[in-house]
Structure 1
Amino acid sequence: MIENIRIPTPAGTFDALACGEQDGRAVLLLHGFPEAAAEWEFQLRALGGGGCRAVAPDQRGYSPGVRPEHVTDYQVSELVGDVAAIADELGWQRFDLVGHDWGAIVAWATAAALPERVRSLTAVSVPHPVAFTTARAEDEDQAERSRYISVFRQTGAAERRLLEDDARALRGIYQWKVPEERVEDYVRRFSEPGALTAALNWYRAMDLMPEVAPVSVPTLFVWSTEDAAIGSAGALATEKHVTGPYRFEIMDEVSHWIPEEAPEQLTRMIMEHLLAHRV
């Protein structure tokens, strides 16, 4: 069964979902925007039932107990620090890391910074940050797909636009690919005072992101052809930024919301990746 747990760290206390025996293989799953740990419900159950101890935290800004006010508190170095602090509190010296959307960016940066602790990386939807940044600058298709980022960075205006008219714009982001009851949960969360601003501050801190080094740990990258936000340029270029064993999987006819739209297929890939890299 999935447990609700709390993880105290120097930055504050993270809310999290967990599944599996305490002595199972450690797997940390990082959610994206605009979602929460609940996006990994299917994967948590499968991994927890398959010999892993799988934990998915509500990340910085999403957990009410870790919701600082300043944009600088949401730079990637702080988010990577949260991953390390969470792993420390869980007693995990080494762990497998899975991330989707913004969670993938944090996972890429963590794997690059802490290769001695990350046993394997699974990144879903978002390419290596350098490949993605280059695609935004040089590829017209990706530049067009990324126009929403400038909107999200508009303090105050973005919050009003996303939440007005019963959160019509926020609901539209999910493209009717995420289960309705899950969308209602997300909308409720982001309607709480300060919650949406904290989540959007991840975008507002993007200029503070240092260049992420190539990743040396075994890596699985999963991208989908119907992703409205991420085009093929960055996805195809990601292999240039992985020096360790690398597997690239393309899901046809699947949107950006892979963990919830195609949970069985993604989970099978994750478990194959974990089995292939046990050490």
Structure 2
Amino acid sequence: MKTAAEQAGWAHHEERINGVRLHWVEAGDGPPVVLLHGFPEFWWGWRRQIQPLADAGFRVIAPDLRGYNLSEKPRGVAAYRIQALVADVAALIRHTGADRAHVVGHDWGGIVAWWLAMTAPERVDRLAILNAPHPRAFGREIRTPDQMRRSWYAMAFQLPVLPELAIRARNFALLEAVFRAESVRPGAFTDDDIRRYKEAAARPGALTAMINYYRAAGRSPRPETRIIPHPTLLVWGERDQALRVQLTCGLEEWVPNIRIECLPEASHWVAAEFPEKVAELLTGFLRAP
């Protein structure tokens, strides 16, 4: 049986970008749109938005970020510092033959997108973020007891070895619970989706690489935050268990050209729970004059 990607005619690519072998899926033709997934997904997290964006006249590029699924998994925490992640995406955009691209990110992909827009603004046309905090807003909110409680897992991920053992236990039961228990819309994740995510996490070196995103963030200095001048769309599922909705407040100071769309019935997994709405918001925003 053909996969959805094969049925849609999506192309798979794998090339060395920024010194790391990256895998990505590509569909459509037109201005490039780069879709950046989060933890613990891979490009499949955008499975319901790729074709609508391609049909709307965009060249859609959905990579597996370094460490994930079919992309290379460099060893060591330092390989996952934000500077390296941003450089991968900037190099991928250049590899497409374009000077700049629309960039859309969810969760960790959104964090990379925020930093890309701040540190390599010449590579970004329009910016769209789904449930990923702006660095300055997160720095503000992590001081609150509620956000500290919600971020317990990121602190636990700083430990060596134990997080990998816990996630891998009982056939990745914790990973499955992340999707099953935290999603507020039944059926957002199918059995096939869960199987794919487990298989991706089970690849040699993948789980440690995925967790190293958090370890690197907790141990490495970050670049200085800068004003983001790009037109920016922030889509936020208000029932996110890990991130307070207050993270959407006060962003105009750092992102003056921002539009915020809060979805009260969505969780952290907004693109899976409300795929048509997210595709509509993205295509409308990216096609705006």
- TM tier, smaller: over 0.9
Preserved contact between residue 237 and residue 269 of structure 2 (Cα < 8 Å)? no
Matched with 1:214 is: 227
Matched with 1:276 is: 288
Matched with 1:267 is: 279
Return 5+ residue gaps in structure 2 as ranges. Answer: 1-7, 184-188
Q: Residue 243 of structure 2 aligns to a residue in which SS?
A: coil
Matched with 1:140 is: 145
Q: Residue 139 of structure 2 aligns to a residue in which SS?
A: helix
**Aligned match of 2:244 in 217, 231, 234?**
231
Preserved contact between residue 94 and residue 100 of structure 2 (Cα < 8 Å)? no
Q: Residue 246 of structure 2 aligns to a residue in which SS?
A: helix
Matched with 1:186 is: 197
Q: CA-to-partner distance for each residue in 1:16-48, whole Å, 9 max, x for gaps?
A: 111102xx1110000000000011111111111
Preserved contact between residue 127 and residue 221 of structure 1 (Cα < 8 Å)? no
Q: Distance in 2 between matches of 1:65 and 1:183?
A: 19
Q: Distance in 2 between matches of 1:101 and 1:41?
A: 16
Matched with 1:250 is: 262
Preserved contact between residue 14 and residue 57 of structure 1 (Cα < 8 Å)? yes
Q: Indicate whether 1:113 and 2:126 are aligned.
A: no
Q: What code does the residue aligned with 2:216 have?
A: A
Q: Indicate whether 1:150 and 2:161 are aligned.
A: no
Matched with 1:5 is: 13
Q: Distance in 2 between matches of 1:152 and 1:143?
A: 14
TM-score by length of 1: 0.94
Q: Indicate whether 1:14 and 2:19 are aligned.
A: no
Q: Tell me the CA shift for residue 116 of structure 1.
A: 2.1
Q: Tell me the CA shift for residue 214 of structure 1.
A: 2.3
Q: What code does the residue aligned with 2:82 have?
A: V
Matched with 2:207 is: 196
Q: Distance in 1 between matches of 2:180 and 2:155?
A: 20
Matched with 1:60 is: 66
Return 5+ residue gaps in structure 1 as ranges. Answer: none
Q: Residue 248 of structure 1 aligns to a residue in which SS?
A: strand
Preserved contact between residue 100 and residue 125 of structure 2 (Cα < 8 Å)? yes
Matched with 2:40 is: 34
Preserved contact between residue 141 and residue 247 of structure 2 (Cα < 8 Å)? yes
Segments of 4+ in structure 1 off by > 4 A?
Answer: none
Preserved contact between residue 35 and residue 63 of structure 2 (Cα < 8 Å)? yes
CA RMSD for the aligned pairs?
Answer: 1.4
Quick check: 256-265 or 62-71, which moved more? Answer: 62-71
Quick check: 210-219 or 149-158, which moved more? Answer: 210-219
Q: Indicate whether 1:85 and 2:91 are aligned.
A: yes
Q: Residue 116 of structure 1 aligns to a residue in which SS?
A: helix
**Equivalent pairs, count:** 273
